[in-house]
Amino acid sequence: MDESRLLRCGLEAAEALVRNEPFEISLAEALYRIVGADSAVVNVWRGRPRAAPSLTLVGQSPRTAAELEAWARQFAGHPYFAHLLATGDPRPYRTSDFMPFHLFRQTAVYRKLLARDQLRHQLLMTLHLTDQDLVFVALLRRLHNFSDGEVGDLEQLRGPLSAALAYRAEVRAIQTKIRSDSLPAHPTEPGLTSRENQVLALIAVGCTNDQAAHRLGISTRTIRKHLEAVFAKAHVSSRAAAVAWWLRQAPGDSPQSTVVPQAP
């Protein structure tokens, strides 16, 4: 593994957080490639346990709302998260540090979310944990477990990313207070489809319409159609304004799963 590339990806994600820009897709893709996992996940779960998690996945099939809701109900039964909630220890651990695979495969989390992709081995690390919010990353493999060296390398990312998330949480808390003191309630906006969220996520990280179409395996004309639908829902007339509107929306109660297709 290229440790310097891994550290650069962590610093870039931390800088995006400080700038209040999306970081999930770029971080998941970098971890997926640099570490050499079969899948990478960035989970942002705000308002737990009432709300549902928002997952950005690279290298595995999409998750339905029912699957994510099942995970939200069962997540404390995962050995890593049982340890996290009991101790508050955010460091990276392998699932095998807590139980052998023949026991893990019997858990609801494995059966409902991982079995169909045969993702036997997991390396997880918590970046932010409060009474209501949880942000973590997970790397998954089918055939061989993660090494002690890979666990140590991932730990190096935790410091800057955790600090950036704490900073953003504090800034958002101040902004929320200012808005609640000075602005009327924002009207409820129509919900976006899963595909519209995917398009906006790619546009937000700098993709052109052509690049977004290539990544999603659809035509540029279809990208334009999705953006036109977003423009109508957000009452805006440009890509930049649509992304700004999208980033301002508070996370809803419905689960979201953003899957980043890999270009052939």
pLDDT tens digits along 194-210: 888 888 888 887 888 98
DSSP structure string for 205-235 = TT--HHHHHHHHTS-HHHHHHHHHHHHHHHT
Q: Looking at the DSSP assignment, which residues form a beta bridge with residue 137?
A: 42, 125
Side-chain half-sphere exposure of 121, counting CA atoms within 13 A: 12
Least confident of 20-29, 63-72, 183-192: 183-192
What is the band of 237 on the pLDDT scale with cuts at 50, 70, 90? confident
Convert the pLDDT of each residue in 33-46 to its tens digit: 999 999 998 998 88
pLDDT digits (tens, 9 = 90+) for 212-229: 888 888 999 999 999 999
